[in-house]
Structure 1
């Protein structure tokens, strides 16, 4: 099975050598590593990964980790058993926004890296020295991403790292015995390395109550690359209260043939998150979306591009009061985070955007009174206000897709030509690949909308 998503590594030869010691360490700590499991470096396009060197049947265990091996964030509720320096780590981590959860565990990683004789040193010593995440891109490559939601997040993360490193500089006054980094100065580069190591490798494990636990670093398991059709999955041992039993294990979901890469599903992630946290993108990602901010003027422009007259209804930028009431129920009448809508993903069009356009194209509120708001957010004959309304909605969505597509500074052909240049730097290549996936996503959405429009017209013609 091909590896669909793999993180880039530096120092590949030394990393492979270190991984041999890591496998031995896992075994020495009471874990299990299947003898046919090998670490490989498959080049710059796929990085490091785990491969089966023998056939293996479905349901076989590949890796088992006892509970002492995963590296979690210290629990502040167990302050009585924490070292004073670990208590400082917990206090610092509380200053980090929840959305940057990787930085919280990254502080623990930096803490362990600074400790002499750290239990996790065999694992930490084989981590990559550098990553190709956007926070390490040049300014030119960041702008080359050409997609505002992601460039905004990259710049936001970079600003945080600079500001947070200034805060950590104040720790210099602490005695070395309680300094979380053993008196070492942690700059923005070290913080970025730790955040990248965690975001691209940590897992969030669900307990028996299905409650989300804090993120954990899972040595060796985190070398499995990503696929939306994985051949293995992580199982949690339900008897994990015992200290000496297995905590987590990787088990095959189907028969593996010799040479198969071991893959896990990191989750239904968009290319935005894959790029920001892992440093790669997936062509034709079924979970990818284009993020937009709902705006009446934007919808009005989309209607005009579609060649639609208003037929007596008010401009989308100044909807009637009964339309405003419905938009408020959708959370689209006021400014704020709730106004984010999307194109793409399994549903093709954000349900709230679909409902909003059906409301805006309605000539009166009477037909809407027979429709529940939930129904308006779905595709299907039962959800239509009328066939004429639906045609206008689909044409407006096509106009919106055209606006989005034309906002990119380059064409698909120009991006493809750039990617054919073998001298293109790796970070530049990733940036171009990302924006190309977004353009192709818009094209796929437009093709799907046009098909829906043709099908609708065919049905209408049949009954005329």
Structure 2
């Protein structure tokens, strides 16, 4: 049964406003949904969450959003060629979708997307843990809360990218003139300040769904009742998919749900730093967490060409990135690569292959050098963090820390666990733990970086 439409703007509760989104979907031809929206209090914030509207069995469709109620580039531009041109030449799909919704928002209640845009505004790129994307954190909070994490540089790089795309918005205006004929407003950079565009971009980024098996112009989709209303999980099996026959985006649940239980969908193979950047969330049981360790052979190495030949035989390069993961030990090829990289004997190198480096150290001196550099590098990365593990745990369990501090502490705890695990393995392999960490004055011809 539909909810009675609220015609008065007076004393409209947050839940009633959310119910209007479901009513809007039904009014525009969507079938009855297996989800409803409820309010929860998370870390002091009141959030909207999609929950089971009734008891659901595994495989049952909880979400069915018709094609005409899903915002994709082919719907925005009504021209696949133009959509692909814009997104491969100047702007990303997210920037184009953001610009479209910003102009639609200016149309207010006249926009067909009014209820959907209103919900995106209320959510404000805030994930189910109560934290916004770090793209919207207050000045200085990224550097303070995430100090030592590689994510700090990624956030700043993403903000630069958004600023660069903002500078290109007017290109869309002029190339897609027919699209904007219905908007009696100024060109983008005059109609919207950069700060407003950043906020809208983050909201779209936190809400977009990556559909598989569809044309390029449909792969990025904004789905009403989808994320961030729909909770993302790193371990769920259910995922939003496009059904060509039904011409709708669907979510079939992967397990049974009781009425009122939050519905979860798989967020894809994204590490937590990406989840925090995009959705403001960190999942403690994420199996895709990793930290990069890049090894670079300098051109000044007298054996550079010979080493490159050996590496090429194994489809490796002279700048190779390895991924450290929790509870996985050291990457299989990391030590063999470092042994080869630190080889200083031309005769030994002629006999060396990655297989022989895997089976045993090249020499005691080579092995000490390898383990010393690896352990020193890992310890140095751990030392970059301003907080201890105990301080992270205290923040996570604190009743006064905000949601941004808490998700940051969760991420730092995971990153440190990955680095500590790798460091402990390197120390286990060396004869002298103190020497491995402290190091000596020897200059090694190999650079390690994060």
Q: TM-score range by the shorter chain?
A: 0.7 to 0.9
> Does the 8 Å CA contact 2:297/2:341 hold for their aligned counterparts?
no
Aligned to 1:27: 26
Q: Evaluate the alpha carbon distance shift between residue 436 and residue 175 of structure 1 in structure 2; reply closer, same or farther with a 3 A threshold.
A: same
Decide which of 406, 425, 431 is 2:408's aligned counterpart: 431
Q: Which residue does the alignment assign to 1:386?
A: 360
**Match of 2:72?**
72
* Larger displacement relative to structure 2 (28-37 or 137-146): 28-37
- In structure 1, stretches of 5+ residues that fail to align are 1-12, 240-244, 298-315, 377-381, 455-464
Q: Distance in 2 between matches of 1:62 and 1:193?
A: 30
- Equivalence for 1:106: 98
- Gap regions ≥5 residues in structure 2: 1-11, 126-131, 432-450
Q: Which SS does the other structure have where 1:62 is aligned? A: strand
**What is the rounded CA distance, in whole Å, between the counterparts of 1:416 and 1:76 in structure 2?**
46
Question: How far is 1:269 from its partner?
Answer: 0.6
Residue of structure 2 equivalent to 1:280: 281
TM-score by length of 1: 0.71
Cα gap change, 1:448/1:217 in structure 2, threshold over 3 Å: closer, same or farther? farther
More moved, 14-23 vs 186-195: 14-23
SS in 2 for 1:424: coil
RMSD of aligned residue pairs (Cα, Å): 4.1
> Map of 1:218-367 to 2, 5 A cutoff?
218-222=223-227, 223-230=229-236, 232-239=238-245, 245-296=246-297, 318=301, 320-321=303-304, 322-327=306-311, 332-333=317-318, 339-344=320-325, 349=330, 353-360=334-341, 364-365=348-349, 367=351
- What residue is the counterpart of 2:117 in the other structure? 124
Q: How far did 1:97 drift?
A: 5.0
Question: Relative to 1, partners in 2 of residues 1:35 and 1:203: Cα closer, same or farther, differing over 3 Å?
Answer: closer
Shift in Å, 1:410: 2.6
CA distance in 1, matches of 2:393, 2:367: 34
Instruction: State the Cα distance separating 1:428 from its structure 2 match.
Output: 3.5
Closer, same or farther: CA 447–264 of 1 in aligned 2, 3 Å: farther
Answer with 390-399 or 30-39: which moved more: 390-399
For residues 355 and 349 of structure 1, the distance between their equivalents in structure 2, rounded to whole angstroms, comes to: 11
Aligned match of 2:15: 16
CA distance in 2, matches of 1:61, 1:404: 46
Is the alpha carbon distance of 1:270 and 1:96 closer, same or farther for their aligned partners in structure 2, counting shifts above 3 Å?
farther
* Cα pair 1:37 1:53 within 8 Å, conserved: yes
On the 8 A contact 1:72/1:215 being kept in 2, the answer is yes
User: Is 166-175 or 153-162 further displaced after alignment?
Assistant: 166-175
Rounded to whole Å, the distance in 2 between the matches of 1:30 and 1:341 is 50
**Contact 1:290 1:344 (8 Å CA) reproduced:** yes
Q: Does 1:205 align with 2:211?
A: yes
Alignment check: 8 A CA contact 2:148 2:386 kept: no
Confirm or deny: 8 A CA contact 1:72 1:216 kept in the other structure.
Answer: yes
2:40 — aligned with what? Answer: 41
Change (3 A) 1:234 1:158: closer
Residue 215 (structure 1) aligns with = 220
Cα distance in 1 for residues equivalent to 2:217 and 2:361: 44
